[in-house]
Amino acid sequence: MYERIVRIGRTNYFIYETLVGLVLLLTINLVLLPGKPAFEGVNPNPLWIIVLAIPIRYGRRGAIFAGIASAAVFLSQYIWMRGLDAIYDDLWILRFPIMFVLIGFILGEVKTVFMLREDYLTSRVEELQNENERLSKENEIVKEAHSILTANVATKQDTITILNEITARLKSYDADVIYKGILEGFRDDLGAEECSFYVAEGDDLRLHCSIGWKDYQRRPDQYKIGQGLIGASAKALQVMSIKDFIFRKRLREHEETDIMGDTILAIPVVGIDDRLYGVASIESMPLMKLTDTTVQTARVVCELAASSLNNAYAFKAMEEIQIRDRRFNVYRYHYFLARANEEFLRSTNYMLPLSAMAFKWPRLKGLSDASQAPLIESIITVLKARLRAFDVLAVGPDEKTPLVLLLATTSGPQAEDIKQKMIAHIKEYELSGVLAEGPIEETIVTAAYNPHTMSGADDLLKALEL
């Protein structure tokens, strides 16, 4: 039902419905009330049915069409039956066509806002459904990995301990920690003496980290996908071991020279939708430990790692689209850009003032992490003391401009006044020397909306030298 309502709101049926409705009302008027053109004296005027119903159903486009069409029918019928002089004699009759257009437009704007909100909620529902499907698939992967691990190491007394240790190492939203955790699991739980992880980058596999490698060893830092046992594992998305080459001859003969000294066990780490994160490799371990159980355990480790990596990258993607910076509780720059476009359009449509500021303080980024965070928090506290609740203070686009500010309904002179008050606060707390080498006034750039020279939000940002 909801999808049907949204679909109707996006069609052009309002043209036909408006015309049909007006024809019906016009027919009723001529047949039943021939002496009352445009329902003269009928209160309320039946034409309001069209003016009110179409905007509520279709939004802005339907509102404009219905309002103009109803006004045109009213005027044309009235002039046809009473003559143009009747309007000159009683201009108050024009209130009906004017109100048809005005009220219809207002209702259409309100309906359009709700329709846009419906679109947003629909997209959010679809995103959550996709996320639910992804988590369901990952849950199946974890269940399968758990069953395989339980079946192959059930005879070991420390199975639960090993599984807990592996899960604990891979429980992170940091991909680097997960890659390192795979190798630590190989070393501590499988007895690997030398192991490494190669990250997939396009058609290449680049060495990311290793454990047990000696300084004098000259192993490759990079492989092509398909090159050697490591590359073959990445290409086939399958576990490859030296035993496959010696006994089963799964690799083509021309790859034999690439395999020598390559690895003894390579396991691809494959995420959802067959996304290759990389290949975990064991270059050295006692051959007596290279059993089917070891291979299966290593595969389970990599499957658990793939599940954690799915979550890590999904978390990273969601964090990137968040509108607030978690460290300093200000907006992110992409939200600043979106709001700048919105406020610029609002200023253009309604002739409202708009201003923005850029704080050119590159010295903030040059400080150590220990002193940078409290200083930025102090600066933000000082700046927020002069701001309204709907002003947008955000992280800047680069190191040269760590903070930016959008001031809706604020003219250029008002922005300059706010700037001077901020500067006074900064000087009061003796922070100007930390932020700028010269006068603090020169490091805060302001720009105001100018309808004659600016055609878009990009022009406002250019005025801020962003």
Query: How confident is the model over 394-446, as pLDDT tens digits?
Result: 988 888 888 999 999 999 999 999 999 999 988 888 888 888 888 889 899 99
Mean predicted confidence (pLDDT) in 313-340? 81
Mean predicted confidence (pLDDT) in 48-72? 80
**DSSP strand pairing (324-325 vs 330-331):** antiparallel
Sheet containing 276-284: which strands, arranged edge to edge? 222-224, 204-211, 194-201, 276-284, 265-270, 240-241
Distance CA 402, CA 433 (A): 16
Q: Residue 416: which H helix or E strand, with range? A: helix 412-428
* Angle at alpha carbon of residue 30, lines to 28 and 36, rounded to 5°: 105
Q: What is the pLDDT of residues 286-301, one digit of tens each?
A: 877 778 888 888 888 8
Which domains, ranges and CATH numbers included, belong to the chain? 2-123 (no CATH), 153-317 (3.30.450.40), 324-463 (3.30.70.270)
The rounded percent of the chain whose pLDDT value lies above 90 is 20
Q: Residue 204: which H helix or E strand, with range? A: strand 204-211
Q: Place 25 in a pLDDT band, splitting at 50, 70 and 90.
A: confident
Token readout for 33 is 């009330």
Q: What is the pLDDT of residues 120-162, one digit of tens each?
A: 888 888 888 888 888 888 888 877 777 666 655 544 545 556 6
Distance CA 310, CA 382 (A): 40
DSSP, res 156: -
The answer to whether residue 323 scores a pLDDT higher than 70 is yes
Distances (CA, A) of 94 to 17, 18, 213: 25, 21, 90
**Which of 107-116, 184-193, 415-424 is predicted most confidently?**
415-424
Residue 11 identity? T
Which residues, at least 6 apart from 257, have a Cβ–Cβ distance to it below 8 Å? none
Distance CA 73, CA 38 (A): 8
Backbone phi and psi for residue 161, each to the nearest 5 degrees, phi listed first: -60, -45
Distance CA 87, CA 76 (A): 11
408 - beta bridge partners? 354
* Angle at alpha carbon of residue 188, lines to 183 and 194, rounded to 5°: 50
224 - beta bridge partners? 204
Contact 185, 271 (CB under 8 A): no
The answer to whether residue 358 scores a pLDDT higher than 90 is yes
Mean predicted confidence (pLDDT) in 201-216? 87
- Burial (0-12, 13-18, 19+ Cβ within 10 Å), 212: middle
211 - beta bridge partners? 195
Mean predicted confidence (pLDDT) in 94-121? 81
Contact 51, 70 (CB under 8 A): yes
Task: Give the rounded distance of the alpha carbon of 104 from its chain centre.
Answer: 35
| Entry pTM | 0.44
Concatenating the DSSP letter of every residue in 284-302 gives: E--GGG--HHHHHHHHHHH
Q: Residue 227: which H helix or E strand, with range? A: none
Q: How many CB atoms lie within 10 A of CB 226?
A: 17
Please report the pLDDT score of residue 453 as a whole number.
92
Backbone phi and psi for residue 447, each to the nearest 5 degrees, phi listed first: -145, 145
Q: 125: number of CA atoms within 13 Å, CB side?
A: 8
